[in-house]
Amino acid sequence: MTGPVRIAVDGELCIASGQCVLVAPDIFDQDDDGIAIVIDPDPAPGRQADLEDAANRCPARAIVIS
């Protein structure tokens, strides 16, 4: 994937495992219920590997990279 990267979390699918926060705490956080939220929706292109790692570790497949 080249060019700008956008990241989103489907809050309906998220099961609050926190794997994304462990991989990229500067991009993801969790709300009071533990549901993942994106704090940097337009991360630098150099973060692609971390984003893919976070998406792959998500047991609910709630992370969308476009």
Q: What is the pLDDT along the chain (66 residues), one digit of tens a residue?
A: 566 788 999 999 999 999 999 999 999 999 999 999 999 988 888 899 999 999 999 999 999 998
- Which backbone phi and psi does 32 adopt, to 5 degrees? -60, -20
Q: Please give the pLDDT value at position 28.
A: 98
Q: Please give the pLDDT value at position 9.
A: 96
pTM: 0.89
User: Computed from CA positions of residues 13, 19, 35, 15, in that sequence, does the dihedral angle turn out positive or negative?
Assistant: positive
Q: Please give the pLDDT value at position 50.
A: 94
Element (H, E) at 36: strand 36-38
- CB of 24 closer than 8 Å to CB of 34: no
Closest C-alpha among 53, 60, 46 to residue 23? 53
Q: Please give the pLDDT value at position 2.
A: 60
